[in-house]
Structure 1
Amino acid sequence: MPMAVGVIETLGFPAVLAAADAMVKSAEVAIVYYGIAESGRLLVVVRGHVAEVNRAVEAGITAGEAAYGGQVITYYIVPNPPENIETILPIHFTSKSEPFRFF
């Protein structure tokens, strides 16, 4: 089955924490990257099967917006990224994320 990537960018830490929590609780996905984008913007990236990532991103958006002062800036889902993207961008499974891989 194809692996997908889902990204949510929020303004502020509470929103990204709520989004990440909702994402991993609502679907069988693993967080593969978390980082600071700029100016208080944070992002969280998950990997999993396409249907699971779709469900996770939807739950993450809802939770991020519901957090006090939370604002989801943007989100994006890539259904089946090619290998060259996985090689260059930080969306691959690492030794930290591998134990949480469901698939």
Structure 2
Amino acid sequence: MEAIGMVEMRGLVPAIEALDAMTKAANVRLIDLKVVGSGLVCVIITGDVSAVKAAVDIGKTVHTRTGGELIAENVIPRPHPELEKML
């Protein structure tokens, strides 16, 4: 795993739309789509660092077309191997 990207937003439909755009825009793979609660959904992707950064940037902007609200986003380059167990 070279990088992990996370985009958290309010709403399942905006999260799915963001995930679709992220995977089309860059060579990334979905690790998980976590439903956090209270309408919050976190999309977690992996790939090389530049692809994950590009995908997260796309995901931050695309979800607004369906009324989603961006809560948080983060890219972790070269994550520690123990982090993989959590995901």
Which TM-score bucket, shorter chain as reference? over 0.9
- The amino acid that maps onto 2:78 is N
Greater per-residue helix proportion: 2
The C-alpha deviation readout for 1:52-77, integer Å capped at 9, x for no partner, is: 00000001111112x22111111111
Q: Which residues of structure 1 form unaligned runs of 5+?
A: 91-103
- Whether 1:64 and 2:54 are equivalent positions in the alignment is no
- Whether 1:22 and 2:14 are equivalent positions in the alignment is no
- When structure 1 is superposed on structure 2, of 78-87 and 25-34 the one drifting more is 78-87
- The amino acid that maps onto 1:7 is M
Structure with higher RCO (Cα < 8 A, 6+ apart): 2
CA contact 1:15–1:72 (8 Å) conserved in 2: no
Q: Which residues of structure 2 form unaligned runs of 5+?
A: none
TM-score by length of structure 1 reads 0.80
Indicate the RMSD between aligned Cα atoms, in angstroms: 1.1
**Which one has a bigger Cα radius of gyration?**
1
- The amino acid that maps onto 1:40 is G
Task: Give the aligned partner of residue 93 of structure 1.
Answer: none
TM-score by length of structure 2 reads 0.94
